[in-house]
A and B are shown apart, each in its own frame.
Chain A
Amino acid sequence: MNNLAVLPIIIPLVSGIILAFFPKKLNLVRPLSKIFMLINLVIAGYLLWTVFSEGSVILETGGWKAPYGIVLVADKLATLLVFTTNIIAAACALYAPYSLSDRKEQYYFYSFFFFLITGVSGAFLTGDLFNMFVFFEVLLMASYALIVLGGDKVQLRESIKYVFINLFSSMLFVTAVAFIYGALGTVNIAQIAERVQEVDQQGILTTVGILLFFVFAVKAALFPLYYWMPNSYAVPNPVISALFGALLTKVGIYSIIRVFSLIFVHKIEVTHGMFIWIAGLSMIFGIIGAISTNNIKLIIAYNIIPAIGFILMGIGVFNQSSVSGSIYYLVHDMLIKGSLFMLAGTIAYAAGTSDLRKFSGLIHYYPFIGWLLFSSGFILAGIPPFSGFIGKLLLLKGALANKDIAIVIIGLLSSLLILYSIMKIFINGFWGEKDETIKPVSLKGRIAPIVMLLALSVFMGIGAEFIYPFVESISTDLIQPEVYIDAVLKE
């Protein structure tokens, strides 16, 4: 049934609404949120299975035909990302009760959590540019509420910046949509693509495309527009940082993938050539940030920027191998960033501070956490048996095929420095003499979700032969825009 495509959006929305009726009854809210999350995970998995076995699921809401009504397009890329989103959200739902104080949970945390999932799933599934804007706002509104939850002084300071920059980029988004509607007379993504193709992307269209790129680049924290991101992702509670780090910037890069593999693909030397430069600069500046700080949460937050750079590089090069690499890296990075933020939160809780200069020798008390961090550093940097390796290998192979040697060198060097930035936490925080002043605290319940996400990452690396054919079929669809257009418009 076609209505399947709307369920990953509607289930979290209804769950969030139901939980808003009794936010103070925590012993009811906690199990209910886990049950709702499980239902949503199962439905998203079923949708993924349906799409890969029978092709895209298209829902024309309200029964209106494609270019006139709102369509929801569950194609292979979108459903894969919705499924990954739900895995991360499930891990966060397990982690939340241990990480948040009761008071914070009572202030509608679970409602906002579910509204965030609604927005993210909606942004992945929509087939309409203006609806994409609406779902962006849904997820941003929820994230505004989550970032100030608790109301510390630093949170208030960082949230002001976060709200202002996002309001500004949302305003630009509306302007860009208005330009597109003025030039092409439609906001349906498939029809926009068709009309841009008809006029061969003449005139103002490339400019509008680049404007749209800058809107998404603000959301995705790419090179010139990333300065708002690291601090505002480091100050909230670890579980909220994990949600933000794993999901929000990825929605921005997903929109870039969607728009620049489907609509603006006729002037590749202008747009995609620029992406390679921006990708390279993002890697350099992101990694400089990551190795320059001693705050473990900030190190993880800065590591988002080079990862987004890697994904953008795949779009910039734009051949089969590099686009597969981007998708592989995107899913890998969602999983590993989710677990790394939770891990950093756990370490900061165990050590009592997030400043690396103030603690050492944690390995004597928490050997398991130490080795988790060690292996996640390997996964993130892309050491061969793990998942980061496959994505980077495909990306670099694609770039070499296009003779973009400079970006390959930058990519390899920044991978080395990514490894260094994580190992710095391990060396300074975990090695060293046994510190007798540390009083071990119980980390009950915090470990399981981290292990779950890391195990999936490891599986993505070791089971690459199982996963790669799916990723390859996604990228085959992506570099042929006709597949998407035909699926939506000519059923």
Chain B
Amino acid sequence: MYKPNDLILRTTTSLIAFILLGFSIYLLLAGHNAPGGGFIGGLMTSAAIVLMYMAYGSAVLEKVLPINYRLLIPTGLLIAVGTGLASFIFGEAFLSHTYGYFHVPVFGELELATAMLFDFGVYFTVLGVTISIILSIANDH
């Protein structure tokens, strides 16, 4: 009987998926001063996860990454709206953002902006939406 052997696919996936994940985090963090941001970062992360699904199948992945992707959507939205609402506390107009310079060990002096938090919200929403769409189509027999 024919039995598929996808050794090459699985070996390269374990390598490529981690490069993809690292690159997606880089894109997410670089968005302020270079091309990138929450949207493309989220898409790239979901590409890595979809690649792992293709190589290892859903049974393995559900054990390795036990995440309810559908819950990621409201979580991300809540983070994004929350950054807008936080400006209410300081008596500023809705969606006002601010930034400051902080000394972080290892990295040194860093400029941290609250717009980053909004991007995290976008990142989680995009990740949740993409994987939910792909998985619900894939699991539909």
A positions within 8 Å CB-CB of B: 1-3, 6, 10, 13-14, 17-18, 20-21, 59-63
> Are A3 and B81 in contact (CB-based, < 8 A)?
no
Residues of B within 8 A of A18 (CB): 74, 78
> Are A21 and B96 in contact (CB-based, < 8 A)?
no
Is B49 in the interface zone, CB < 8 Å from A? no
A17/B95 contact (C-beta < 8 A), A3-B88, A10-B85 known:
no
Is B19 in the interface zone, CB < 8 Å from A? no
Question: Chain B interface secondary structure, helix, strand, loop or mixed?
Answer: helix
Residues of A within 8 A of B85 (CB): 10, 14
Residues of A within 8 A of B71 (CB): 21
Partner of A6, one of B74, B78, B94: B94
Question: Chain A interface secondary structure, helix, strand, loop or mixed?
Answer: helix
A21/B74 contact (C-beta < 8 A), A3-B93, A63-B93 known:
yes
> Are B81 and A62 in contact (CB-based, < 8 A)?
no
What distance in Å separates the Cβ of B88 from its nearest Cβ neighbour in chain A? 6
A59 to B84 alpha-carbon distance, docked (Å): 13
Residues of B within 8 A of A13 (CB): 77, 81
Residues of A within 8 A of B84 (CB): 10
Which partner residue on chain A sits nearest B88 by CB separation? A3
* Number of cross-chain contacts by CB at 8 Å: 40
A478 to B97 alpha-carbon distance, docked (Å): 34
A17/B94 contact (C-beta < 8 A), A3-B88, A10-B85 known:
no
> Are A20 and B74 in contact (CB-based, < 8 A)?
yes
A21 to B73 alpha-carbon distance, docked (Å): 9
What distance in Å separates the Cβ of A325 from its nearest Cβ neighbour in chain B? 35
Residues of A within 8 A of B96 (CB): 61-63
> Are B81 and A10 in contact (CB-based, < 8 A)?
yes
A63 to B77 alpha-carbon distance, docked (Å): 22
> Are A61 and B94 in contact (CB-based, < 8 A)?
yes
> Are B81 and A17 in contact (CB-based, < 8 A)?
yes
Is B92 in the interface zone, CB < 8 Å from A? yes
Which partner residue on chain A sits nearest B92 by CB separation? A63
Residues of B within 8 A of A1 (CB): 91
A59 to B93 alpha-carbon distance, docked (Å): 7
